[in-house]
Structures are given as C-alpha cells and as structure tokens.
Amino acid sequence: MIKVGIVGGTGYTGVELLRILAVHPEVTVSCITSRSEAGVPVSDMYPNLRGHFDLAYSEPDSSVLAACDLVFFATPHGVAMDLIPELMAAGVRVVDLSADFRLKDLKVWSQWYGLPHESPEWVEKAVYGLPEVARAEIAKAQLVANPGCYPTAVQLGFLPLLENGLVDPSRLIADAKSGASGGGRQGKIAMLHGEVSESFKAYGASGHRHLPEIRQGLSAAAGAETGVTFVPHLVPMIRGIEATLYAELKNPADFDRLQALFEERYRDEPFVDVMPFGSHPETRSVRGANLCRMALHRQEQSNIVIISSVIDNLVKGAAGQAVQNMNIMFGLKETLGLEAPALLP
C-alpha cells in the first residue's frame, strides 16, 4: 500500500482528493493537515466522507509527512515551495497541486505571484505533470507539478494542431468558462450565491495567472514561441470548465484530416475522449470524472479550427489528474481509482 499524506485538506481540491483516494485499492491516507482546522474530524467538515476516513485534521509536521511514500500539496501558492525541499531530502515523492513548480521561468513566476521563489533548484527538477505529454518523465519524477485546470483543458485541445505544425502558433485564442468551485472555498463576496447566480462575466481579461502556464506548454508543443489570447469567465455552476479554442490553419486543405489526427493522437489516452465531428461536449458529461472530452468544428469554408474542450475542474483539472500522476509515479495501472463514469443528471 502507498502511504499518502495530504497538506491542505480542507479546500475543494483536498476533499476531492479524499473522495477519490477513499476507493483507491492501493492507497492508505495516513495524515491530512490543516492549521486552521487541526483536531476537527474530516467527516465533521465533509459528511460525504463519513465511514471512509476516521482521521482528524492535524498541524503540518515534517517528521510525519516524511514517513509517507507520497505527499499531495493542495495548498495556496507559496506554501509548497517552503516545505517540499525537506521532503525531497527525505526521499518522499510529491505531487504539488499548487502553482509553485509549474513555471520554469522564475522571473515570470514572481511577476505573476508577487513573491520570490524559495526553491529554485526544485523548479528545475520538477516535472510538469500533463500525462498525455510527459508520461515517461512523470514515471521517474520525485516532484510533479500538477497542471492547472484551465491549462489542462486548453493544452489538450490545442496539442495535436501544434505538435503537427498545422496552425499559426502566434494566433491562438482560448475562450474559457469555469464554475464557481474554481475560485476555491474561501469566503469571498464575489463568489456568494447572490452574486454569481443568474450572472455571467469575464475576469482576468487583461491577464490571468494561468496564461504563462498555458503559453509555456503550448510553446513546448509547437517548438516555438506561441501567441495566446486567454480570457476566463465565471458561470453560475459549481463544477466544470468549457474551453472554446480557435486556431488558424496554415493550409485549409488540412482540415479534412483533423478529425482522424485528433482521434489518433488520443487513441491510447484513457482520459481523453474525442467526440464525433460537430459534437458539443457538455460539462455535465464529465462531472466527477477524470476526463477531457472534446470535439472539432468548422464554420462554412473558414480556415479557423474550433475545438470545444470540457473537463471537471476539480478532477481532471486538479485532484483526479494528481491521482493519475501518482499512479504513473508508482507504476500502477494509470486508471486505478479513476474508473467511475461521470455523474448525471
């Protein structure tokens, strides 16, 4: 059994990790930390976990965490980078769900997150954990930086086009929408039901923290710098991301082979579903599942490719992908603990 610890287990991502790990046949969760809720039974805060965990939240303790085989960090940015070096020295493997190790350019990281990075040596060694791109590197990694939710949906949608050099990499557009759980569990006036319900808005249109992560991943796929316009939106639902992606084909004649190209690229990927051409993936079709579902579109004879990509921001966009990475790191079946279909209605 893999002995797992979770740092920051009170937020939506933390409880989603617990929900998934509760039925994982190869994992035992030995500790769940929270400074603010230390001593509170997990099942008191999240009654859906009654009968699955008899643990209480505890203060983070390096010696306890160092006894784990793997530690998940489900913390705000700036926390993991202070604690991870000690765990690395102890030989613990880590999947960090925060943004601390995603960006390789530390100047860019500091610009977007407003503080200096405390573990630059581990930024260099960390593997960016998008399994559909870096499976072999993840398998050997001690530290995996779990991708963000928007970057997962956006990158998976664009990858086949950029990897094959079929589109202009300087003119990529990602128009993305997320449910309210993407904003976390903290009390914020802007996230109250009375503020979010029956409303729809863009945010971060002048620049969002996920933009450099998206740009980094797409540039790696293209083998050149990419120009990405990314605008996120808040929609009045709890879970889900839909990213409508636009790219300009260099040769419009290539359009006829795109469906086959996407199907071939993701044929052996257990958590990517390429739907028939012209389909409209729904966020509810992936709710609770570790799945990215996508479809291609074209308007008349336009040379613009349109891709609709949907994920559950808490699963394939966070906790599910983190467990997928853990499975790869320990040589387990990649789908272990993640086989359940989405929740409907």
The model's pLDDT over 5-17, given as tens digits with 9 standing for 90+, comes to 999 989 999 999 9
Given a cut of 90, whether residue 339 has pLDDT beyond it is yes
Which pLDDT score, from 0 to 100, does residue 38 have? 92
How many Å apart are CA 240 and CA 218, to the nearest integer?
A: 22
186 confidence band (pLDDT: 50, 70, 90): confident
Q: Is the peptide bond before 341 cis (omega within 30 degrees of 0)?
A: no
Which pLDDT score, from 0 to 100, does residue 218 have? 98
149 is catalytic: yes
| Per-residue pLDDT tens digits for 206-225 | 999 999 999 999 999 999 99
Tokens of 279: 């389909």
Per the CB < 8 A criterion, the answer to whether 293 and 312 are in contact is: no
Per the CB < 8 A criterion, the answer to whether 254 and 236 are in contact is: no
Burial tier of 136 (Cβ tally within 10 Å: 0-12, 13-18, 19+): exposed
User: What's the sign of the alpha-carbon dihedral 159, 126, 335, 316?
Assistant: negative
* Rg for the chain, CA atoms, rounded: 20
Per the CB < 8 A criterion, the answer to whether 100 and 78 are in contact is: yes
Catalytic residue among 31, 68, 149, 292: 149
How many Å apart are CA 23 and CA 8, to the nearest integer?
A: 20
| Per-residue pLDDT tens digits for 253-302 | 999 999 999 999 999 999 999 999 999 999 999 999 999 999 999 999 89
Summarize the confidence of residues 114-132 as an average pLDDT. Answer: 96
The residue type at 130 = L
| Per-residue pLDDT tens digits for 146-180 | 999 999 999 999 999 999 999 999 999 999 999 98
Strand arrangement of the beta sheet that strand 27-33 belongs to: 27-33, 2-7, 70-73, 93-96, 143-145, 127-128
pTM exceeding the 0.85 threshold for the entire prediction: yes
Given a cut of 80, whether residue 191 has pLDDT beyond it is no
Nearest to 158 by CA among 51, 312, 309: 309
Which pLDDT score, from 0 to 100, does residue 183 have? 79
Average pLDDT of the chain?
95
The residue type at 155 = Q
Which pLDDT score, from 0 to 100, does residue 195 have? 81
All structural domains of the chain: 2-125 (3.40.50.720), 150-313 (3.30.360.10)
